[in-house]
């Protein structure tokens, strides 16, 4: 039994899958950035990407099963040559579609089509912006990222994002700390971005850094690994357990393989039933009631106010 499971037991909490709401597709590891905290280890030099035959099988599944939400992530998901067809197929199936966008991709050569495409297809944009001040963003995501992100947000605003179309921002701490109060920080972001750049957005999602991949390497280098895990464990919040995203989200890798969440995907905790399962092996109802694969990293989802792809939980 891992430390997360022990903690659940001590608090009389149970965790299993419920009905599927969100199909989260990770279309590959390639990204135009290589951020310090990235849980995907994404970077421009990564080559693992969704292939055409797999994309076709994912689209068939979406057309047949019509998930309520299709959440497309990466890397920078827009780099996938199948991004547009995935969006169009999902919209045609009646799904709400989310693009997990790093903003700077909108400023890259060859992506001039992207903002208008997102708006035309009413794609919800969830965009990373770890601070409203340039220094902190540069520290975590690289030089020039803040300025490009601001320009991209202004472009999205001009197309109706933040008013007629949903535009949400994601904050995660620069270092090994828990995020501050989501509602307080949202108010600060709203005020600063409107005052300094005329930018509007809808929600701010605060996300706790997962102790995996590049962030885990950073923790180990700084000798902070044990301390960070203690921080997460000591702030366990049972009120966050009911809202954990692994209850209603299914994470799909670029080869069609299945996981309980994107973090488990990075740890190769693949869902199996005697043999590893792929999206085309299952129907949504097969998942209900299944046990969720967990590890000590799960403590990041239940610490403080809790954490998920849509922010705080409790």
Residue 287 as a binder of ligand SF4 (CB under 6 A): the answer is no
Mention every residue, 6+ apart, whose C-beta is less than 8 A from residue 193: 132, 153, 199, 200, 201
Distance CA 215, CA 208 (A): 11
Q: How many residues bind ligand SF4 (CB under 6 A)?
A: 24
Residue 218 as a binder of ligand SF4 (CB under 6 A): the answer is no
**Binding span for ligand SF4 by CB under 6 A among 29-37, 162-170, 232-240, 276-284:** 29-37
Do residues 39 and 215 lie in contact, with contact meaning Cβ atoms separated by under 8 Å? Answer: yes
Among 13, 192, 200, 292, binds ligand SF4 (CB under 6 A): 292
Among 75, 115, 130, 211, binds ligand SF4 (CB under 6 A): 75
- Of residues 116-145, which lie at the interface with ligand SF4 (CB under 6 A)? 128
Residue 310 as a binder of ligand SF4 (CB under 6 A): the answer is no
Residue 253 as a binder of ligand SF4 (CB under 6 A): the answer is no
Q: Which residues sit opposite 273 in a β-bridge?
A: none
Q: Which residues sit opposite 23 in a β-bridge?
A: 70, 250
**Binding span for ligand SF4 by CB under 6 A among 69-77, 119-127, 152-160, 281-289:** 69-77
Residue 31 as a binder of ligand SF4 (CB under 6 A): the answer is yes
Residue 21 as a binder of ligand SF4 (CB under 6 A): the answer is no
Query: Residue 74's CB: how many other CB atoms inside 10 A?
Result: 27
Mention every residue, 6+ apart, whose C-beta is less than 8 A from residue 117: 84, 87, 123
- Of residues 81-110, which lie at the interface with ligand SF4 (CB under 6 A)? 102
Per DSSP, the residues of 219-249 read HHHTT-HHHHHHHHHHTB-GGGGGG-GGGTE
Distance CA 252, CA 264 (A): 11
Residue 303 as a binder of ligand SF4 (CB under 6 A): the answer is no
Residue 173 as a binder of ligand SF4 (CB under 6 A): the answer is no
């Amino acid at each position: 039994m891992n430390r997360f499971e022990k903690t659940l037991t001590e608090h009389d909490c149970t965790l299993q899958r419920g009905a599927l709401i969100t199909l989260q597709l990770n279309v590959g590891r390639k990204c135009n950035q290589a951020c310090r905290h990235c849980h995907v280890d994404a970077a421009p030099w990564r080559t693992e990407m969704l292939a055409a035959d797999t994309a076709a099988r994912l689209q068939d599944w979406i057309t047949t099963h019509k998930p309520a939400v299709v959440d497309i992530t990466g890397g920078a998901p827009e780099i996938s040559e199948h991004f547009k067809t995935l969006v169009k197929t999902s919209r045609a199936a009646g799904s709400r579609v989310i693009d997990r966008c790093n903003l700077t991709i909108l400023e890259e050569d060859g992506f001039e089509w992207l903002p208008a495409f997102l708006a035309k297809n009413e794609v919800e944009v969830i965009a990373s912006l770890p601070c409203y001040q340039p220094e902190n963003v540069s520290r975590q995501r690289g030089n020039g990222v803040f300025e490009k992100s601001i320009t991209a947000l202004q472009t999205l605003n001009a197309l109706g994002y933040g008013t007629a179309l949903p535009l949400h921002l994601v904050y995660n701490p620069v270092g090994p700390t828990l995020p501050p109060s989501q509602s307080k920080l949202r108010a600060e972001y709203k005020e600063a971005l409107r005052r300094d750049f005329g930018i509007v957005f809808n929600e701010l999602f605060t996300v706790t850094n997962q102790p995996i991949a590049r962030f885990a390497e950073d923790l180990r280098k700084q000798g902070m690994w044990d301390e960070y895990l203690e921080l997460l464990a000591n702030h366990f919040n049972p009120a966050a357990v009911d809202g954990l995203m692994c209850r209603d989200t299914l994470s799909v890798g670029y080869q069609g393989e299945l996981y309980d969440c994107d973090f488990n995907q990075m740890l190769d905790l693949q869902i199996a039933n005697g043999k590893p399962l792929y999206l085309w092996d299952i129907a949504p109802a097969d998942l209900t009631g299944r046990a969720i694969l967990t590890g000590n990293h799960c403590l990041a989802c239940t610490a403080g106010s809790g954490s998920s792809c849509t922010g705080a939980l409790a």
